[in-house]
């Protein structure tokens, strides 16, 4: 039984679930950890350092971009990746508010 009228922001919750899906892969977590340690980094440095194939690295970065977890910045022929911490923080807040609903 629901104890009170709670407002669920379905749009934010769906966006958060997309972020969680993007994070739910060990290789993407490894890539994000590497980006986090380097502030911003280009794809060549990512796949060379982590010893990954370029195509696989690009596929995983595309998923992270589509979820809004990473941002890109072009510098000549290089694209640099950085983490959008505000996007991740907003997802965590949306999930936390969903968990705090007073449901009996």
Q: Structural domain tally of the chain?
A: 1
Confirm whether 72 is domain-assigned.
Answer: yes
Confirm whether 3 is domain-assigned.
Answer: no
Q: Output the domain CATH number for residue 21.
A: 1.10.10.10
Confirm whether 2 is domain-assigned.
Answer: no
Written as six digits, the tokens of 61 are 């970065």
The parent domain of residue 59 ranges over: 10-99
pLDDT tens string, the chain, 104 residues long: the values are 445 455 667 777 777 788 888 888 999 999 999 999 998 899 999 999 999 999 999 999 999 999 999 999 999 998 999 999 988 887 777 677 766 655 44
Whole-angstrom Cα distance, residue 86 to residue 69?
9
Q: Phi then psi for 77, rounded to 5 degrees? A: -90, -5
């Amino acid at each position: 039984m629901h104890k009170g009228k709670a407002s669920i922001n379905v749009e934010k919750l769906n966006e958060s679930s997309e972020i969680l899906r993007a994070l739910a892969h060990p290789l993407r977590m490894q890539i994000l950890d590497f980006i986090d340690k380097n502030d911003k980094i280009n794809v060549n440095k990512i796949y060379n350092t982590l010893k990954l194939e370029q195509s696989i690295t690009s596929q995983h970065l595309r998923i992270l971009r589509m979820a809004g977890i990473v941002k890109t910045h072009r510098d000549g022929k290089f694209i640099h990746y950085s983490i959008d911490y505000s996007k991740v923080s907003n997802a965590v807040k949306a999930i936390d508010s969903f968990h705090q609903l007073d449901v009996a």
